[in-house]
Amino acid sequence: MVEQPRTATVTRKTGETDIEITLNLDGTGQADIATGVGFLDHMLHALARHARFDLKVRAEGDLHIDEHHTVEDVGIVLGRALAEALADRKGITRMGHAIVPMDEALALVAVDFGGRGYFVFDGQFSSDRIGQVGTTLIPHFFESMAHEGRMNLHARLLAGVDDHHRAEALFKSLARALDMAVQRDARLAGQVPSTKGTLTV
């Protein structure tokens, strides 16, 4: 049986942003990212590499105002790309989790592609900004992705002093949790991993 490729290309254009994302869940971690927001690019490169996703992101936003719309909308489009690439979600492990250190920082992320978007964040940052990104936008990015990807996403900062390390630990934990959750489980033989029989309604 030939397995279908799990890819998606999603575009979203508004008066604030113009975004296109191409995602391959069964890639090798190749990333081609250009959002105009340097720290976001850095985090998306880490996400692709550690999730083993091939990810291409092109985003143009109203950066003359600030970075908010660009960061938020990239999260929205990435969530939609995940949902589209997973399609009916048959045969996937569905749930994943990871605890990842980054020097003194430690982060935990758990995900469940159960069909409902929900986000919980427990943690704090010491500063208002990391590079071009306001630190309040980091959990907001996760939240936008979770709702559009129709997944539960819990993220916790367990330790840390340096905000760059805290954020990077979160994104790497997210990556490893996503990699676990989207893996095909041969024992399911293509069945939906739910007692309901569906994960898309």
Q: Structural domain boundaries of the chain?
A: 7-188
CATH of 7-188 given 3.40.50.800, 3.40.50.2300, 3.30.230.40, 3.90.1150.10: 3.30.230.40
CA distance 140 to 182: 22
pLDDT of amino acid 2: 53
Phi, psi of 178 (to 5 degrees): -65, -45
Residue 176: which of 75, 61, 93 has the closest Cα?
A: 93
Structure tokens at 62: 């109203």
Structure tokens at 17: 């942003």
* pLDDT for residue 199: 55
Would you give the DSSP letter of residue 167? Answer: H
Contact 17, 71 (CB under 8 A): no
What are the residue ranges in the chain where pLDDT is below 50?
Answer: 1
Whole-angstrom distance, CA of residue 46 vs CA of residue 86: 21
pLDDT the model gives residue 195: 58
d(CA 197, CA 90): 10
pLDDT of 5 reads: 86
